[in-house]
Amino acid sequence: MSATDKKNLQGNFKPQDAPQYADVLQCMRCGFCLPTCPTYALTGRERSNPRGRVALARAVAEEKLEFTPAVMEEAFFCLDCRACTTACPSGVRAGEVMEICRSQAHAFYPLGKVGKAFREFVLEKMVVSPDRLEKSMIPTRLYQRLGIQWLVRHLRVLKLGPDWMEKAEGMLPDLEKPLRPQLPDVVPAKGEKRGRVGFFLGCVMTLMYPNVSRNTVRVLAHQGFDVVTPKETKCCGAPHLSEGDRETARQLAQFNLDLFLAKDIDYIVTDCAGCGAALKEYEEMLEGRAEQDKLALFRSKIRDISEFLVEVGLRTEGLKEVRTSVTYHEPCHLCHAQGISKQPREIIRKIPGVELREMNESSWCCGSAATWGLKYSDDSKKVLDRKLDNVAATGADYLVTGNPGCHLQLAWGLREREMPQSVLHLIELLGRATPED
């Protein structure tokens, strides 16, 4: 076979959304990713590490293996934490290859009737429209957040971890009213104006952490930016990508892209690491579907809040002292998916009175990873314990992070272990230092 014949080998994959053959060939099997992979640390099994997972995908492409239930299992067992992407000197993205394999899973193992209806209801009706979510009852919100999909999949293949319902309920924070309806369309800048930003308010943030995002808007305004929050914003698509529903994710992406590009804004800022990572992937997701310069323009505007504040320079005059010590947990979707690691620390250090105490393995996953923590609750507990041991060793007052998934998992873990710390989003910490008017 000549080189060109085999260039886009798909072999036993379905043609729609198959991993690129070149992407799996890129792995030279050096193993640099092995010590960073949480699932490998759990099982010690080669097929549950990035090198093994890429090898499985390659074997499917080369027709040495069918897309077997075990391949599907590995695709979903992968936390998609992207630690392997950071670790890989060759530029292989094993987590993304697995994400793509999740959509293959749906093509190969279609859901049963009940499951399908349920899934459609959650992923295609509820999650896509914040309005519906915000008006629905709490249990539905819970399902949305935790992605009821696992239940659906459970009907087919996966066994749900024990005690999942108990855990799910235990994790749920006290819910306030959703934030979105309360937010003005535009909040004007305070002090010397520095620009105008669009705020991408994520579904989980508006529903579960309204106080965080309220602070984000307040801080941005205090930093001299007009804050535009479009009410129509839809889900970023991250839950769909993570559950392997790439098609709905693309539709959502297209909608948000058009919505924000039509606004007069310099940047698009988010305070949810998961949303940020997904928004930055629109360019790739919509390749060939939207105009290249539109995609590039959109991409050039996306910033995580910490990335944004460091880039424009945090105005520290007038910040109040916050006497406390904190340690920082890096959300996977911030440090590994977006390469943002220094910025949150820089902001913490600039808040007067705050002492940053670094923990060991700050970039090791907390075990939440979207719905993973419910599917594999025993494993998730082990990953979480490792994290909490590292937190405990710092003796800090607060555990700071920047992603709702981590927030939920860490807060639950701290409560269960009766540890003295509580969790704060970085922006809540900065919010405490920012004077109310």
Partner 1 sequence: MISKTAIDHLVEKLGNENVLHEKEDLLTLGYDSTPGVHHLPEVVVYPTSSEQLIAAMEIAQREGLPLTPRGSGTGLSGGSVPVRGGMVVTLTRMNRILEIDEENLTATAEAGVITLDLFNAVAEKGLFYPPDPGSQKISTLGGNVAENAGGLRGLKYGVTRDYVMQLKGVLPDRSLIATGGKSVKDVAGYGFKDLLVGSEGTLGIITEITVKLIPPPQDKRTILAYFNDVRTAGEAVSRIIAAKIIPSTMEIMDRATINCVEDYVKIGLPREMAALLLIEVDGHPAPVAEEADGVRRILEQVKAAEVHVAKDADHAASLAAARRTALSALARVSPTTLLEDATVPRSRLAETFGEIERLGGKYKLKVGTFGHAGDGNLHPTVLCDERDHDEMERAHAFYNELYEKVLAWGGTVSGEHGIGLAKKEYLARQVGPGGVQVMKRIKQAFDPEGILNPGKIFEEKDPGTKQHVEEGFRVSH
CA distance 151 to 374: 10
**304 interacts with, out of ligand SF4, partner 1, none, CB within 5 to 8 A per kind:** none
Provide DSSP, 9-41. --TTS-STTPPPHHHHHT-----TTGGG-HHHH
Nearer CB in complex with partner 1: 258/389: 389
| Binding site partner of 79, from partner 1, ligand SF4, none, Cβ cut-off 5-8 A by kind | ligand SF4
Q: Which is nearer to ligand SF4, 45 or 135 (CB)?
A: 45
Give residue 410's identity as a one-letter amino acid code: L
Phi, psi (degrees; rounded to nearest 5) at 142? -60, -45
160 touches, from partner 1, ligand SF4, none (C-beta below 5 to 8 Å by class): none
Residues 6+ apart with CB under 8 A from 263: 198, 228, 230
> Measured from the CB of residue 155, what is the shortest distance to ligand SF4 in angstroms?
24
Least separation in angstroms between residue 157's CB and partner 1 is 15
- ∠ CA 285-93-91, nearest 5°, is 115
Residue 237 tokens read as 């698509």
213 CB burial (10 A radius; 0-12, 13-18, 19+):
buried
CB 288 to ligand SF4: min, Å: 26
CA distances from 272 to 93, 195, 350, 426 (A): 22, 21, 21, 11
Taking the least distance from each CB to partner 1, the nearer of 40 and 209 is 40
Write out the two tokens for 141: 């919100």
50's contact among ligand SF4, partner 1, none, with CB below 5 to 8 A by partner kind, is ligand SF4
Q: How far is the CB of 153 from ligand SF4 (least distance, A)?
A: 17
Q: Which of ligand SF4, partner 1, none sits in contact with 63, Cβ below 5 to 8 A by type?
A: partner 1
In the complex, minimum distance from the CB of residue 154 to ligand SF4, in angstroms, rounded to a whole number = 20
Q: How many angstroms separate the CA atoms of 302 and 345, rounded? A: 20
CB closer to partner 1, 32 vs 108: 32
Q: Rounded to the nearest whole angstrom, what is the least distance from the CB of residue 97 to ligand SF4 in the complex?
A: 9
Q: Which of 93, 190 has the CB closer to ligand SF4?
A: 93
Give me the least distance between CB of 89 and partner 1, in Å please: 4
Amino acid at 433: A
Angle among Cα 107, 109, 112 to the nearest 5 degrees reads 110
Residue whose C-alpha is closest to residue 120's, from 111, 109, 131? 111
How near is the Cβ of 40 to partner 1 at its closest, in Å?
A: 10
Contact 148, 123 (CB under 8 A): no
Residue 251, strand partner residues: none
Residues lying near partner 1 in the complex (CB under 8 A)? 1-3, 6-7, 22, 25-32, 34-35, 44-47, 51-52, 55-56, 59, 62-65, 68, 70-71, 74, 88-91
- 258 vs 361 by CB, closer to partner 1: 361
Instruction: Give residues in contact with ligand SF4 (CB under 6 A).
Output: 27-33, 36-39, 50-51, 53-54, 78-84, 87-88, 90, 92, 94-95, 98
Tracing tokens 């991408």 back to the chain, one arrives at: 200
Q: Which two tokens stand for residue 395?
A: 């003796």
22 binds, among partner 1, ligand SF4, none (CB under 5 to 8 A by kind): partner 1
Choose from partner 1, ligand SF4, none: what does 82 bind? Cβ within 5-8 Å by kind: ligand SF4
